[in-house]
């Protein structure tokens, strides 16, 4: 005679019926019990979803899913099947079993090229959940605040020797822009052209913005707003760079002096007066538009008010960067109020430092 499961019978009984009636009138095997319970089971992600990882490396946290019955009670001993859907990564086991708390887990290793990897965890009744992670290339972030000289020099050394400001590809090394050579006709006005450092002084960058203009200043932008006096320090005197009508500057890389798309191994910027930890970032994109990494500029740590951040990749991957400098653009009628407890963070830029723009390998 097959053993009957009183636990299953009680769970199935309606409130109006006595468990004793069902015990006397129904008979089922343990296999039947398991099948019925699993037919209504659910699976959810407990932890590990949405992580950012590195190509070919395991994620920092395991992927954990939870299986429960129709009443939300955890189910032990349930088989979970794991299937990599995209990203050509791998899992530590294709099958695992829930523990006494209803949890099953595996380690997920990212693929070597895809940027959005996906993984399916499924149980026998067809219920499943999709887990995603973003895979990116290995990257080194260099940041500094206060006296940023050491951090800037460290980043320069990672990129290599400084190249001359001439057209064409150099075999390696870096380019820099410190704004100080911009002529008077493009200084302290809104006339600075976005292609200046590819046409007038070939350095392989093209600037665009959703705002209205770019502005180079040799007076700390006091001609825009007299209240900015003393607000913005400089790393290389005397000139600074800012976007009008927006805090976004997009930088696209080309072979210097041409319109040929190019890639760089890294890009960094000096920022003046970063007052909030989340206001100022550099986003790095490959030629297909995939986000490779986001580097966040540290807040100013002293009266100098300078910050630096740059990302360095193991190879030339970066087609363009998006700089978000603060959350409020310079304006005749607006001032920075972070130091008084406000939320307006006005940030301008000094030196740009980046790898030599070269044609994709």
In tens digits, the chain (361 residues) has pLDDT values of: 344 433 333 333 333 323 332 333 344 454 554 555 667 799 999 999 999 999 999 999 999 999 999 999 999 999 999 999 998 899 999 999 999 999 999 999 998 877 889 999 999 999 999 999 998 899 999 999 999 999 999 999 999 999 999 999 999 999 999 999 999 999 999 999 999 999 999 999 999 999 999 999 999 999 999 999 999 999 999 999 999 999 999 999 999 999 999 999 999 999 999 999 999 999 999 999 999 999 999 999 998 899 999 999 999 999 999 999 999 999 999 999 999 999 999 999 999 999 999 997 7
Query: Of the candidates 136, 166, 200, which is a domain's last residue?
Result: 136
Q: Confirm whether 271 is domain-assigned.
A: yes
Q: Confirm whether 361 is domain-assigned.
A: no
Q: Confirm whether 110 is domain-assigned.
A: yes
Alpha carbons 181 and 164: distance in angstroms, whole number: 14
Alpha carbons 359 and 348: distance in angstroms, whole number: 30
Query: Of the candidates 79, 104, 136, which is a domain's last residue?
Result: 136
Structure tokens at 129: 């959940």
Q: Confirm whether 295 is domain-assigned.
A: yes
Could you tell me the residue range of the domain that residue 27 belongs to?
A: 1-38
Alpha carbons 66 and 43: distance in angstroms, whole number: 6
Task: Identify the CA nearest to 205 among candidates 217, 214, 216, 197.
Answer: 197
Query: Of the candidates 82, 114, 136, which is a domain's last residue?
Result: 136
- Kindly report the pTM of this predicted structure: 0.80
Q: Do 91 and 9 reside in the same domain of the chain?
A: no
Beta bridge partners of 353: 176, 268
Q: Do 74 and 222 reside in the same domain of the chain?
A: no
Q: Do 287 and 322 reside in the same domain of the chain?
A: yes
Q: Do 60 and 188 reside in the same domain of the chain?
A: no
Q: Do 128 and 183 reside in the same domain of the chain?
A: no
> What is the SS3 assignment for 254?
strand
In the chain, the number of structural domains is 3
* Cβ neighbours around 339 below 10 Å, total: 10
Q: Confirm whether 360 is domain-assigned.
A: no
Q: What is the pLDDT of residue 212?
A: 98
Dihedral, 252, 257, 263, 266 alpha carbons, nearest 10: -80
> What is the SS3 assignment for 344?
coil
Tell me the H-state helices in 193-239. 196-199
CB 316 within 8 A of CB 354: no
CA-based angle 178:182:184, to the nearest 5?
A: 140
Alpha carbons 148 and 300: distance in angstroms, whole number: 10
Q: Do 163 and 20 reside in the same domain of the chain?
A: no
């Amino acid at each position: 005679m097959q053993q009957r499961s009183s636990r299953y019978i009680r769970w199935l009984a309606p409130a109006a019926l006595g468990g004793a009636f069902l015990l006397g009138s129904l008979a089922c095997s343990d296999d039947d019990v398991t099948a019925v319970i699993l037919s209504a089971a659910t699976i959810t992600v407990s932890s590990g979803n949405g992580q950012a990882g590195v190509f070919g490396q395991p994620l920092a946290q395991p992927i954990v899913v939870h299986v429960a019955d129709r009443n939300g009670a955890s189910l032990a001993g349930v088989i979970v099947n794991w299937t990599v859907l995209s990203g050509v990564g791998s899992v530590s086991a294709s099958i695992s079993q829930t523990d006494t708390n209803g949890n099953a887990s595996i380690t997920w290793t990212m693929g070597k090229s895809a940027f959005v990897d996906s993984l399916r965890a499924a149980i026998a009744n067809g219920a499943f959940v999709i887990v995603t992670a973003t895979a990116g290339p290995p990257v080194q972030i260099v940041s500094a605040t206060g006296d940023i000289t050491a951090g800037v020099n460290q980043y320069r050394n990672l990129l290599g020797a400084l190249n001359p400001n001439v057209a064409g590809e150099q075999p390696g090394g870096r380019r820099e822009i410190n704004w100080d050579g911009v002529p008077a006709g493009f200084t302290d006005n809104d006339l600075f052209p976005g292609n200046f450092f590819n046409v007038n002084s070939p350095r392989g960058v093209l600037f665009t913005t959703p705002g209205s203009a770019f502005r180079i200043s040799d007076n700390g932008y006091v001609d825009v707003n007299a209240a900015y006096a003393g607000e913005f320090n400089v790393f290389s005197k005397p000139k600074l760079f800012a976007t009008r009508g927006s805090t976004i500057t997009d930088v696209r890389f080309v072979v210097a002096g041409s319109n040929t798309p190019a890639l760089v191994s890294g890009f960094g910027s000096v920022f003046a007066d970063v007052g909030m930890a989340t206001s100022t970032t550099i986003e790095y994109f490959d030629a297909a538009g995939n986000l490779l990494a986001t580097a966040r500029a540290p807040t100013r740590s002293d009266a100098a008010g300078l910050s630096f951040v740059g990302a360095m990749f193991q190879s030339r991957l970066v087609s363009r960067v998006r700089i978000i400098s603060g959350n409020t653009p310079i304006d005749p009628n607006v001032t920075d109020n972070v130091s008084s407890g406000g939320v307006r963070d006005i940030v301008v830029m000094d030196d740009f430092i980046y790898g030599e723009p070269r044609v994709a390998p």
